[in-house]
């Protein structure tokens, strides 16, 4: 009976990952168009003095018609030189709007909402202050809105290259999330996206405000996606265009990495989308089984063959998806880490899932509790 449960769980996992792989292929078949409409790039910032000028330079040098877009930066009570730098930059860019959060509000969701209130554009584009983009980013991300049925476009995000092993493992884990999210969109079952690169119709945002539950620190991206998915089925697309890639930084410290993943994982218990809940359970269950089978194998060598088969099947299916994803991002150098990464990843998933339910975390010098 236990063996059947293990096999059934693995089958469900494999079916999901293979489906995501086919969804990834579907995304690559989507055509890009030249489409011009009004756009507001809304960025929430807090204590980003070391990053904000680079982003503003990137946003100011877009090939998209200057008269059709503006940049709205919302400062979330920074206590460094971020606001000063933005206001100084504003003097040379008339398309830049700078707003400060009211004293009685804080947090990224409130900041995004505040920024959008100053926009009259058809499309809202969002990214983060520590990101870099190329000059065709707006053009690429907006192009799919030529289809009037599209309400939200999820974009590709990756890390800057770094030779450290810690970076490469982070990048592989991150691209597995990006690939799974994109693949799910490709089969019309969106589960998550990344707020560092997403675009959506302003009217759709105003219609679905439920994701702005500020009691949940994270999730400005995924809860919006779930709300739009519920209101407008088949209206979400992934932009698999290399020009649309947003680059961000991996963490140099394990503590910072874990803190971010705790924040991300904490929001999963607030999911209302059934397919997202299902995928979360299956992924967690299969990784728990991986570790349990490994541990039991030390006490009963007869079970080592079950563990090896389980491990190999899961690894091969993961490789099937990740090979496509890392190829798109031109990071085939990461493939060598896929099999060694499996056991580390299973332990990591269990650890993060547990501590995210009981621990507080810090974000931008603020402490949040689950």
pLDDT tens, 245-294? 999 999 989 988 988 888 888 778 788 899 999 999 999 999 999 999 99
Q: Where are the beta strands (DSSP E) in the chain?
A: 39-45, 69-75, 96-100, 123-126, 152-154, 157-159, 198-201, 236-238, 246-248, 361-363, 366-368
Q: Are 231 and 208 in contact (CB under 8 A)?
A: yes
Q: 247 by DSSP, 3-state: which?
A: strand
Q: What are the Cα distances from residue 330, in Å, to 130, 171, 172?
A: 21, 12, 12
What architecture does CATH give domain 32-167+181-268? Alpha-Beta Complex (3.90)
What pLDDT sits at residue 60? 96
In the sheet with 152-154, reading across from the earlier edge strand, the strands are 96-100, 69-75, 39-45, 123-126, 198-201, 152-154, 236-238
Question: Would strands 152-154 and 198-201 be described as parallel, antiparallel, or unpaired?
Answer: antiparallel
Query: Cα(269)–Cα(370) distance, rounded to whole angstroms?
Result: 10
Q: Rounding to the nearest 10 degrees, give the CA dihedral for residues 12, 14, 19, 21.
A: 160
Q: Are 166 and 259 in contact (CB under 8 A)?
A: no
What pLDDT sits at residue 365? 58
Query: Cα(358)–Cα(346) distance, rounded to whole angstroms?
Result: 20
What pLDDT sits at residue 360? 65
CB neighbour class for 363 (10 Å; exposed up to 12, middle 13-18, buried from 19): middle
What pLDDT sits at residue 104? 85
Ranges of the chain whose pLDDT falls below 70 = 30-32, 209-219, 359-370
For the whole model, what pTM was predicted?
Answer: 0.92
Query: Cα(286)–Cα(191) distance, rounded to whole angstroms?
Result: 18
**Where do the structural domains in the chain lie, given as residue ranges?**
32-167+181-268
């Amino acid at each position: 009976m236990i063996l059947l449960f293990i096999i059934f769980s693995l089958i469900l996992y494999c079916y999901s990952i293979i489906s995501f792989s086919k969804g990834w292929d579907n995304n690559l078949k989507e055509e890009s168009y030249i489409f011009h409409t009004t756009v507001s790039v809304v960025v929430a910032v807090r204590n980003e003095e070391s990053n904000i000028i680079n982003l503003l330079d990137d946003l100011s040098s877009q090939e998209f018609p200057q008269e059709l877009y503006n940049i709205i930066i919302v400062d979330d009570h920074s206590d460094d030189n971020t606001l000063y730098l933005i206001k100084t930059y504003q003097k040379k860019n008339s398309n830049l709007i700078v707003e400060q959060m009211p004293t009685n509000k804080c947090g990224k969701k409130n900041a995004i909402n505040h920024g959008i209130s100053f926009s009259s554009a058809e499309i809202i584009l969002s990214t983060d202050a520590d990101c870099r983009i190329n000059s065709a980013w707006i053009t690429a991300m907006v192009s799919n809105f030529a289809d009037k049925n599209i309400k939200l476009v999820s974009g590709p995000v990756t890390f800057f290259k770094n030779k450290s092993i810690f970076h490469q493992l982070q990048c592989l884990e991150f691209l597995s999330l990006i690939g799974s999210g994109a693949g799910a969109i490709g089969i019309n079952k969106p589960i998550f996206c990344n707020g560092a690169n997403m675009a959506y119709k302003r009217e759709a945002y105003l219609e679905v405000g439920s994701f702005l539950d500020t009691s949940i620190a994270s999730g400005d991206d995924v809860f919006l996606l779930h709300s739009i998915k519920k209101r407008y089925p088949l209206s979400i697309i992934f932009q698999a265009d290399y020009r649309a890639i947003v680059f961000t930084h991996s963490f140099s410290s394990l503590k910072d990495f874990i803190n971010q993943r705790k924040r991300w994982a904490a929001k999963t218990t607030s999911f209302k989308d059934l397919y997202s809940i299902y995928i979360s359970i299956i992924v967690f269950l299969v990784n728990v089984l991986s570790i349990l089978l490994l541990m039991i194998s030390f006490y009963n060598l007869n079970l080592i063959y079950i563990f090896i088969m389980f491990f190999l099947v899961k690894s091969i299916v993961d490789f099937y998806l990740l090979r496509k994803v890392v190829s798109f991002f031109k990071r085939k150098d990461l493939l060598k880490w896929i099999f060694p990464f499996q056991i580390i990843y299973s332990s990591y998933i269990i650890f993060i899932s547990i501590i995210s339910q009981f621990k507080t975390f810090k974000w931008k010098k603020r402490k949040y509790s689950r």
